[in-house]
Structures are given as C-alpha cells and as structure tokens.
Amino acid sequence: MSYKVEPLPDSYAGLGEGPHWDVATQSLYYVDLEAGKLLRYDFKENKVYKTQIEGEKLAAFVLPIKGKPHQFAVGCARRVVVVEWDGVSPVAKVVRTLFEVQQEFELNRWNDAKTDPRGRFFGGTMRYVGDEFQFRHGELYKWEAGGEVSIVKGDVGISNGLAWDEKFQKFYYIDTTDYEVKSYDYDFETGVASNPKVIFNLRKTSPKDHLLPDGLTIDTEGNLYVATFNGATIFKVNPRNGEVLLEIKFPTKQITSAAFGGPKLDILYVTTAAKFDQPEPAGTTYQVTGLNATGYPGTYLKA
C-alpha cells in the first residue's frame, strides 16, 4: 500500500489536538491546546481559520453541539464551556459553562474528549504541572445533557484517545502513562463500559524506549489508528488480535491524534505538537491519503 502524507497549509498548532470532522461544514476542527485557540480547516477552500477564545489560555478539545451550528463544547482548564464561533472570526467568546470537574486539583486540566455515537460526552483529565506518571490524579468522565457528570475511571495519568465500535460493541481508551490501548465491552443504550482488556501494548525492552500512545481513531472495518507522541508514527492495529497492519510515518516526532474526514471520509487528518523545542515541521497538521480505508465523521454533542 502506498499512502501519501502532505501538510495542510498554514496549519501550525504548538500542541495540536482533538481533530473532529464536521460533515455539515466539510471542515476539520481542532485545537492549539496550550494557546487557547480553535482552528478550522475548510476542505473546499483548502484554508485554515484560527480563533482565540477570549479570556482562555487552554483549549483541550472542540466538540460541535447538535442543532447549534456556531456553538462548540471546549475544555478550558477543568471546565467544559460552550464557545460561540462563526468559523472565521479571529476571536471567539465563552457563552456559558456546562460543567466543571476536580475543582480541588488546581494543577489538573482537561485533555482528550469525544462524543460517543449517541451524543454523550466522554473526556478525561491529567496533571498539567509536574510528573503525570508519578501523580495519577486524572479521571475519565461521562456526561449527558440534563444529567450529572459521572466518573468512568479513576487512577488516570494522562487521559487520552477514545473510540467506539458499534458493530463489535466496543469502547477503546488510552491512558498514555499505561503505554497501552484498552478495549471495553460497551452498552450503547446505557453508555456503560465494562471488562477492560489490553489489546495493544507499546512498551519496549527498556522503559526509556516505551512508545507513548496519544490520540486514537477507528475505521469502518474496526481497525484502530494509534498516534504516538514520541514515535513519529501512527499504528494501524487490528484490535481483535493486536496485529499491526500498517505503520504510517511522519516527518516529525510528536504525533498527537487523528480523525478521518473529507467528502468521502477517506482522508486521515493528523495533528502534531512542537513541545520541548522540536524542530520544524513540528506542529504541522497533515492529511494522509491512499490508505484505502474510510472512517466515521465526528458526532455532535447533545447539550
């Protein structure tokens, strides 16, 4: 298989994260996490629009809200807020707060979050200052409109990638500090995950060589795409047997997340980071074509 990796124009984000394909606008939304910025890549225009969220320094994820074309749920520190943005303006405003977690953990922040296929919020936290491997103060949460926030999992170091598979009734989850991808049995009617099982291990012989799994997406055949923060690679993995089907290589090291998009949902969009003085082209957002795979669009959050 010959795939092609190409940069999107003017797509830099110091800590790019949370890619979400929106069918309605044919756009890829993502964040520059430590800058409090939202970005939108317009497929038709082949152009990236950027906005600063007024008064915010962090933006961990961006989830379009169902029925409200210009409103997004965004993780700012430990709050999930509704941000209003027309997709073009250089400044966006916080409209209201949906909920807040871990008020007692001032050194924590939101990290990755997604919407399950039924419109529920799933997202997790991590230690923002200090050693996340030592201080496992993060938690994974679930929230549904009109309800309270509930804890899905505690004892989390860096809450990261999430994906669901309705055909196999599975939920997949990454805690980066565990160096692995776990599968759960998932009840789509109740939103309950159970029976965790390790399906992909990224540990190497020496701890200093362990790969750090970050973001995650899934294709329509049920294969996972696992981004590695220190590996310059996305692994395409069969979660039923742990087999690596493909290694997608990038010209930069810190690969943070991925999402399928494009008119045919056959383009893999990939975010990266430029942390710890990584050289160019670190922080560039890429498109990968020629994978002969299709994925799912992002699901709107019911809020």
Is the separation of the CB atoms in 265 and 222 below 8 Å? Answer: no
If phi over 0 gives left and psi between -120 and 50 gives alpha, with beta otherwise, what is residue 98?
alpha
User: Residue 79, Cβ neighbours under 10 Å: how many?
Assistant: 18
Strand 121-127 and strand 108-115: the pairing is: antiparallel
State yes or no: 214 annotated in a binding site: yes
* Cis peptide upstream of residue 213 (ω within 30 degrees of 0): no
Whole-number Å distance between alpha carbons of 84 and 197: 39
- CA-to-CA separations, 181 to 76, 197, 202, in angstroms, rounded: 26, 8, 8
Q: Which is it for the CA torsion 136, 188, 245, 3, positive or negative?
A: negative
Provide the 8-state DSSP code for 299.
Answer: P
Q: Annotated binding residue at 109?
A: yes
Q: Is 17 annotated as a binding residue?
A: yes
On the CB side of 287, CA atoms within 13 Å amount to 18
Per-residue b or e along 13-35, where b marks 16 or more CB atoms closer than 10 Å to that residue's CB: bbbbbbbbbbeeeebbbbbbbbb
Task: Determine if residue 111 is labeled as part of a ligand binding site.
Answer: yes
Question: Which position among 112, 214, 219, 266 bears the catalytic label?
Answer: 214
Active site residue 214: yes
Feature table: binding site for a divalent metal cation: 17, 160, 214
Which of the residues are catalytic? 214
Feature table: binding site for substrate: 109, 111
Feature table: binding site: 17, 109, 111, 160, 214
